[in-house]
Structure 1
Amino acid sequence: MDRNLRNILLWLLVGSKGGRTRVRILRLVMEKPVNVHKVAKELGLNYRTAKYHLGLMLEHGIVEKVGEDYGAIYVPSHDVEESWDEIEKLIEVNGR
């Protein structure tokens, strides 16, 4: 995993207030492509909360958006897919 991605992940998933929620969302996105509604429903989150966290992860290259508007789905970025085992270790070591 490249150093920049590691630093972003440490900040987004471990070092900031919404980290636990973003970890849950990222794990769901790793299982299957999902839209905001599906994330909110499956994780018991408010729609706007799910949209906010997905937007933040999209902005930092953790997930990618496929499509537009309401039906858009989110998938893990290529870098995240390639580094998933290391990301899981990073999450575990930091108690998430």
Structure 2
Amino acid sequence: MRQLLWWLIGGSRGGENRLRIVRALHKRPRNTNQLSEDLDLNYKTVQHHLEVLGENDIVTTEGDTYGKMYFLTDRMERNLDILDEIAEQADINSHGD
């Protein structure tokens, strides 16, 4: 999991936005539009990051199309401490959201 999170968060251009999305979903489930508004990110950008996070077993969904809600997977919930370590080591500061 550590290597995966380094690749997704610490070692990629979109890592900061993915970190913000994961932290927002840790607080409460949301749909793409809610994440876009809450994080002040373009809808298509959020959609792209959610696809990447979903493909890598970081987020999961319930529902369909517009109302689809995103949640952190149990695996991600168990590894939030690793996420925080990587964010700190990569010097990504997005604790606010």
TM-score calculated relative to the size of structure 2: 0.90
Greater relative contact order (Cα 8 A, min sep 6): structure 1 or 2? Answer: 2
Instruction: Give the equivalent residue in structure 2 for 1:39.
Output: 35
Q: Report the Cα offset of residue 86 of structure 1.
A: 2.4
Matches within 5 A, 1:1-96: 5-96=1-92
- Secondary structure of the residue that 1:17 maps to in structure 2? coil
The aligned amino acid for 1:20 is E
Instruction: Give the equivalent residue in structure 1 for 2:95.
Output: none
Determine what percentage of the aligned residue pairs are the same residue.
34
Task: State the alpha-carbon separation in 2 of the partners of residues 22 and 92 from structure 1.
Answer: 14
Task: State the alpha-carbon separation in 1 of the partners of residues 90 and 79 from structure 2.
Answer: 17
The runs of at least 4 consecutive aligned structure 1 residues that moved more than 6 Å come to none
The aligned amino acid for 1:74 is Y
- Secondary structure of the residue that 1:41 maps to in structure 2? helix
The aligned amino acid for 2:46 is A
Map Cα deviations across residues 25-81 of structure 1 (whole Å, 9 max, x no partner): 110011000100000000111111111101110011011111111100111111110
- Corresponding pairs, count: 92
Structure 2 portions without partners, runs of 5+: 93-97
Root mean square deviation of aligned Cα: 0.9
